[in-house]
Amino acid sequence: MRHWKKCQKSLNLYFSRNMANTLFITLVIILLYPFIFYPLILILIGKLKQRIQTIENSTLKDEDLISLIICAKNEESVLKEKLESILSQRFDKKKIELLLLSDGSQDQTATIMEEFKKSYADHFKKVIVVNLEPSMGKNRTLKSGIELSTGNYLLMSDANSILEENTLSKLYESFNDSQVGGVSAFEKNKERSDAGSIQARFWTFDNFIKKLEQKICSAVSFSGSCYMIKKEFADSIPNGVTDDFFLSTGIIKRKKNLITNYDAVVWENASGNLKSHFNRRIRITIRGLTSLSHRSELLNPFKYGIYSWMLFSHKVVRRYILLTLPIIYLTNLFIYNSPLTLFTLICQTLFYALAVIGFFIQLPKPLSIPSLIASHIFAIICGIFYFLSGSKKNSWKSIR
C-alpha cells in the first residue's frame, strides 16, 4: 500500500510537470507568434500574392482642394517649425486650405497661429484659425476641423510632425491608384532619450510589419502623425477612439486600400522620458482597444478576408499576448529541470530584477534596457485592464 501511494505521488508529479511543460511551450509559441511567426507567414504569403495597383483609373483632378488640418494644444515649442515645414512644401499652395485649431491652449499656440495667418494667408487658398475655449479634446477638435473643411481631400497632421519638402505632393500622388482611399506618411524619429530610443525601435519593427501587410493587400491602419484621406470616407469620430485608426479603418469598410508612402517622410520626436512614454502608451492602448470595439465587424474573415486575420494578429494578439508573461514565468519556476528551462528561468529572473532595480536606480545604458522594455509592456497591460474595467483616459496634452 505504501509502495502504491509512492508510485501514485510520482505519477501525479510526472503528469503535473508534463502539463506545466506543455503549458510553458504553448505560451512561449503564442508569445512569439506576433513577433516572429506572423512576419514569417506574411513574407510567405507575399511571395504568392501581391496587391495590384490600378493607376489607369486615377481620380486626381486639377480642381482638387486639400484641407490641411492641424489640431494643437500647448504646442508653442514646435508649432513654428511645423508651420515653416508647410510653407516649404513643393506643392501648389493655392490648392491648400489650412485649418489651424487650438484646443484650449494655455501658452502661445493660438497667438502663433494668428500671426501665421496674418503673414501668410495669401500663400494659400484659405487659412482658418479657430481657438476653442474651453478645451474640447482632440477628437472633438478634429471633428470641428473636418466640419469646417471644404476640400475633397483631408490631410491630418500633428503639430510635432515636421514634413519634408515633398511630403504633401507624395501623399497626394498616392491617389493615382484608384483603389487607394487613404495614405499615411512614413514616420522617422528624432531620438532624444533612452525612452524615445525604445519607442523608435518599436516604430522600426512596426514599419517592417506594415510593409509586409501592405505588400499583400492593405495597411491595417494609419499612424496618426500625418495622413490623408478622401473626405467622402471621413466618418464622424466618436469620443475615446484614436482618430487615425477609426478614420482609416472606415476606408477598409468601403473596400478601399490603405497604404504608407515611404517617400512621404515626416520627422517626429518620441516621448521624452520614461514617465511620459509610460502614460502615453497607457492612453494609446485604451483608445486603441476602444477603437477596435467600434470596428469589431472588421474581424469577420468571411467579409474582409485576409485583412481580418492581419487586424487580429497586429492589433489584438500583439496586445493581449503580453498577459501571458507572468504565467510563463510562474510556469518556468515549476519546470526548471532541464538546461533549456533553467536557462530561460535565469534569463527571465535577471530581466525582471534589472527592470525593478532600473525603476529606482539610474543604471548604465545596457543595464537600463530591461526597465525601459518592462515599462512599455507594463503600460500596455495597465491599458488593457483600464479598458476592460471601463476606465478612460481621454486627456490630451503635449508630451514634450
Least-confidence region, from 7-11, 85-89, 239-243: 7-11
Q: Which residue has the higher pLDDT, 274 or 342?
A: 342
Closest CA to 103 of 68, 67, 75: 75
Q: Residue 148 corresponds to which cell in the numbers above?
A: 469646417
Compute the Cα dihedral for 69, 397, 242, 197 and give only its sign.
Answer: positive
C-beta pairs of 275-280 under 8 Å, 24+ apart in sequence? 276/195, 276/399, 277/195, 277/196, 277/198, 277/199, 277/375, 277/376, 277/379, 278/375, 278/376, 278/378, 278/379, 279/379, 280/399
Least-confidence region, from 6-20, 97-111, 176-190: 6-20
| Pairing, β 226-230 against β 257-269 | unpaired
Q: Residue 353 corresponds to which cell in the numbers above?
A: 530584477
Q: Write down the pLDDT at residue 344.
A: 93
- What is the band of 15 on the pLDDT scale with cuts at 50, 70, 90? very low
Measured between alpha carbons, how far is 45 from 160 in angstroms, rounded to an integer?
A: 36
| Pairing, β 66-72 against β 96-103 | parallel
> Over 50: is that where the pLDDT of 1 sits?
no
Distances (CA, A) of 14 to 23, 27, 156, 211, 335: 14, 20, 59, 46, 11
Closest CA to 246 of 335, 315, 163: 315
> Over 60: is that where the pLDDT of 113 sits?
yes
Measured between alpha carbons, how far is 83 from 93 in angstroms, rounded to an integer?
A: 13
Q: State yes or no: cis peptide before 134, omega within 30 of 0.
A: yes
- What is the band of 205 on the pLDDT scale with cuts at 50, 70, 90? confident
> Over 60: is that where the pLDDT of 222 sits?
yes
Looking at CATH, the fold of the domain delimited by 55-269 is given as: Spore Coat Polysaccharide Biosynthesis Protein SpsA; Chain A (3.90.550)
Measured between alpha carbons, how far is 203 from 209 in angstroms, rounded to an integer?
A: 10
pLDDT digits (tens, 9 = 90+) for 24-50: 999 999 999 999 999 999 999 988 876
- What is the band of 9 on the pLDDT scale with cuts at 50, 70, 90? low
Q: Write down the pLDDT at residue 311.
A: 96
Q: Write down the pLDDT at residue 48.
A: 84
pLDDT digits (tens, 9 = 90+) for 374-397: 988 999 999 999 999 987 665 556
> Over 80: is that where the pLDDT of 240 sits?
yes
Measured between alpha carbons, how far is 293 from 247 in angstroms, rounded to an integer?
A: 14
Q: What is the SS3 string spanning the chain? A: CHHHHHHHHHHHHHHHHHHHHHHHHHHHHHHHHHHHHHHHHHHHHHHHCCCCCCHHHCCCCCCCCEEEEEEECCCHHHHHHHHHHHHCCCCCHHHEEEEEEEECCCCCHHHHHHHHHHHHHHHCCEEEEEEECCCCCHHHHHHHHHHHCCCCEEEEECCCCEECCCHHHHHHHHHHCCCEEEEEEEEEEECCCHHHHHHHHHHHHHHHHHHHHHHHCCCCCCCCCEEEEEHHHCCCCCCCCCHHHHHHHHHHHCCCEEEEEEEEEEEEECCCCHHHHHHHHHHHHHHHHHHHHHCHHHHCHHHHCHHHHHHHHHHHHHHHHHHHHHHHHHHHHHCCCCHHHHHHHHHHHHHHHHHHHHHHCCCCHHHHHHHHHHHHHHHHHHHHHHHHHCCCCCCCCCCC
Identify residue 116 by its one-letter amino acid code: F
Measured between alpha carbons, how far is 132 from 195 in angstroms, rounded to an integer?
A: 32
Task: For residue 161, count other CB atoms closer than 10 A to its CB.
Answer: 23
187 neighbors 225 (Cβ within 8 angstroms): yes
164 neighbors 144 (Cβ within 8 angstroms): no
Measured between alpha carbons, how far is 274 from 228 in angstroms, rounded to an integer?
A: 31
Rg of the chain taking only CA atoms, in angstroms: 24
Average pLDDT value for the chain: 87
> Over 80: is that where the pLDDT of 52 sits?
no
How many residues are recorded in the chain?
A: 400
pTM of this structure: 0.86
Rounded mean pLDDT of 88-101? 95
Select, from the ranges 187-196, 323-332, 383-392, the one with the highest average predicted confidence (pLDDT): 323-332
